[in-house]
Amino acid sequence: MTAEPSTAAREPAGPTATLATAPGGLPLLGHAWHLRFRPLRFLDSLRGRGDLVALRLGPVQGYLVNQPRLVHELLVVRHQEFTKTGSPLWETVRILVGNGLGTSEGETHMRQRRSLQPLFHPHRMDHYARVMTAVAGERSAAWRDGQRLRVDAEMYRIAATALARCLYSVQLPDDAVREITVHLPVAFAGVGKRAALPVPWLHALPTRGNRAYRTAVRSLHALVAQLVEDRRHDPTPSPDLLAALLAARDERTGRPLSEQQIHDEVMTILLAGTDTTASLLAWTLHLLGAHPDVDRRLHAELADELGGRPPTLQDLPRLGLLRRVVAEALRLYPPAWLTPRRAATDTQLGGHRIPEGAFVFYSPYALHRQPGHHPRPNDFDPDRPEQELAYSGTGHAFLPYGAGPHKCLGNTFSLAQVHLAVATILLRWRLRPEPSHTVRPRAFTTLTPGPLPMHAELRAR
């Protein structure tokens, strides 16, 4: 739990930050076109321009935070002044998932967070880890030597199936898993489109895409309602996520969570826990395929430590290279690549006035590639000192899961799944890049590699 900042802590963090203005604004649109259609190139162009960069997003004032110290001020010191409420992204997410942990604010958020912390207690993580390893093993066992795989699709299937089984471990029907893997990406993509272009009448038109989105959302809500109802009336003891949600209590009243909150939290877990995990898995395997020397070293570490058996949660502390490989993938390609906040009142950041209603963005993608914090920032180097990936006391130079009261509660769950799935796959398979394919990062709701064809090679026993 993160403590509320004291009054003293609310003073500006250090000396006044440098303020610059982004070049290249277009008439009427300002910088919104660049941020929508060339986001990574645009963010790269602003690196080094200033600690705080002023933008125009149509008629709205915006700012990009380029300095880790200011990110700390934004997310920790002044978190009550910079909120999710009013941001097109978070308002669109709220329409889909309700007022779950990912979208709530203030005291409601802190109360929900404390109620949900038991979901990720270490004794439950052991169960989740066994599910994660089993799912990765089952899926990869179906591959054929020499097969050309769509690794992005395979990782989505692994992430969604593992999360579904962790949610509901008692005889989860195969068709329920299929519904999740079919409808969730459609809903997630729809959120991105509606956040990027928040024009309600446009999304009400009877187009194929809008119909598919509405069908996906209806199907997911119906499935979640059915799973919650079934789990509530199933007397079988289980350590799954739904059982933990049903057992959770509101700390203020001592009463169980309401039906609506349980529904909203399950929707939040599905939305937040699948796409981001699948993206990180795909990026990690892409980077290993592009660096066969690191792949060989990692396979040797896994073979030495595991001796051919499936990995467990208890193995992970000994797998140092695996941890560094995943950390480097997170540094280079953080799934949550750009996150907005909105000024709830006239306030300041880095000594500069921020007007009420202004949007303030921070980009883990851009922050993770600053040469002052990460030498050779564009290189994949899992041997870089681990302290480069830690909180330095002067700000947040590495924050793939956010910071402060809204830091992702499920980050340990997601990282465990990535570590266990990568270890399970690499013990048996080497994934080689498709020579004719160029990977181009796609920055939309999450940062993904897009289609990722690779060739599976069975390792010698």
What is the third-level CATH fold of 97-334+404-461? Cytochrome p450 (1.10.630)
166 is in an annotated binding site: no
* For range 12-35, the mean pLDDT: 85
3-state SS, the chain, equals: CCCCCCCHHHCCCCCCCCEEECCCCECCCECHHHHHHCHHHHHHHHCCCCCEEEEEECCEEEEEECCHHHHHHHHHHCCCCEECCCCHHHHHHHHHHCCCCCCCCHHHHHHHHHHHHHHHCHHHHHHHHHHHHHHHHHHHHCCCCCCEEEHHHHHHHHHHHHHHHHHCCCCCCHHHHHHHHHHHHHHHHHHHHHHHCCCHHHHCCCCHHHHHHHHHHHHHHHHHHHHHHHHHCCCCCCCCHHHHHHHCECCCCCCECCHHHHHHHHHHHHHHHHHHHHHHHHHHHHHHHHCHHHHHHHHHHHHHHHCCCCCCHHHHHHCHHHHHHHHHHHHHCCCCCCEEEEECCCEEECCEEECCCCEEEECHHHHCCCCCCCCCCCCCCCCCCHHHHCCCCCCCCCCCCCCHHHCCCCHHHHHHHHHHHHHHHHHHEEEEECCCCCCCCEECCCEECCCCEEEEEECCC
**In contact, 68 and 396? CB cutoff 8 Å:** yes
Residue owning tokens 């809903």: 187
Q: What is the pLDDT of residue 365?
A: 97
Quote the tokens at residue 102.
């990912």
Mean per-residue pLDDT for 242-257? 88
**pLDDT over 70 (residue 4):** no
- pLDDT for 171 equals 65
Q: Which pLDDT score is estimated for 5?
A: 35
Average the pLDDT over 356-377 and give the result. 94
Which two structure tokens, joined as six digits, stand for 411? 């980050």
Q: How confident is the model at residue 14 (pLDDT cuts 50, 70, 90)?
A: low
> What's the chain's average pLDDT?
90
Provide mean pLDDT across the span 181-194. Answer: 90
Mean pLDDT, residues 193-221 taken together: 90
DSSP β-bridge partners for residue 256:
249
Check residue 140 and give its pLDDT.
98
At residue 387, the pLDDT reads 58
Give mean pLDDT, residues 342-350.
97
pLDDT band at 388 (very low <50, low <70, confident <90, very high): low
Confidence of residue 16 (pLDDT cuts 50, 70, 90): confident
- Residue 198: which pLDDT band, with cuts at 50, 70 and 90? confident
Q: Residue 215: pLDDT above 80?
A: yes
pLDDT of residue 37 exceeding 60? yes
Residue 40 has φ and ψ, to the nearest 5°, of: -70, -40
Tell me: pLDDT of 96 over 50.
yes
254 sits in the region (left: phi over 0; alpha: psi -120 to 50; else beta) called left
pLDDT on residue 394: 45
pLDDT digits (tens, 9 = 90+) for 390-426: 544 445 788 999 999 999 999 999 999 999 999 999 9
Give the model confidence (pLDDT) of 326-344 as tens digits: 999 999 999 999 999 999 9
pLDDT of residue 337: 96
Buried b (16+ CB within 10 A) or exposed e, 443-452: bbbbbbbeeb
CATH fold of 1-79+337-399 reads Cytochrome p450 (1.10.630)
pLDDT of residue 391: 43
Average pLDDT over residues 111-128: 90
| pLDDT beyond 50 at 7 | no
Checking if the pLDDT of 429 tops 80, the result is yes
What is the predicted pLDDT for the residue at 389?
A: 60
pLDDT, tens digit (0-9, with 9 covering 90-100), for 302-318: 999 999 999 999 999 99
pLDDT class of 3 with cuts at 50, 70, 90:
very low
Structure tokens belonging to residue 334: 């953080």
Residue ranges of the chain assigned to CATH 1.10.630.10: 1-79+337-399, 97-334+404-461
User: Quick check: pTM over 0.75?
Assistant: yes
